[in-house]
């Protein structure tokens, strides 16, 4: 399972989804889907903009959890 950690970053920086959308020029609906981990696809340029904004690594934004660990 791939985990999108936008909610973690927003909480850490005490930001809203709307403020991230405005700062990165990503549609609020897209940020919302990332926040609730409902995204089916994420554009690499969007990941780049979020990483640039938070000055973070991609691993701070996306995490891979093997399915067998997720089930337990």
CATH class of 2-71: mainly alpha
Per-domain boundaries in the chain: 2-71
Q: What is this structure's pTM?
A: 0.88
How far is 49 from 58, CA to CA, in rounded Å? 11
Q: What is the pLDDT of residue 25?
A: 98
Question: What pLDDT is stored for residue 48 in this prediction?
Answer: 98
Do residues 41 and 12 touch, judged by C-beta distance below 8 A? no
Contacts of 31 (CB under 8 A, 6+ apart): 6, 17, 18, 20, 21, 24
Instruction: Compute the average pLDDT of residues 10-23.
Output: 98
CA-to-CA separations, 45 to 11, 50, 58, in angstroms, rounded: 22, 9, 12
pLDDT digits (tens, 9 = 90+) for 33-64: 999 999 999 999 999 999 999 999 999 999 99
């Amino acid at each position: 399972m791939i985990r999108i950690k936008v909610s973690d970053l927003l909480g850490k920086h005490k930001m809203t989804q709307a403020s991230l959308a405005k700062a990165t020029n990503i549609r609020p609906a897209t940020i919302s889907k990332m926040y609730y981990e409902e995204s089916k696809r994420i554009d690499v340029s969007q990941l780049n903009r979020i990483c640039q904004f938070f000055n973070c690594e991609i691993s701070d934004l996306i995490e891979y959890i093997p399915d067998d660990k997720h089930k337990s």
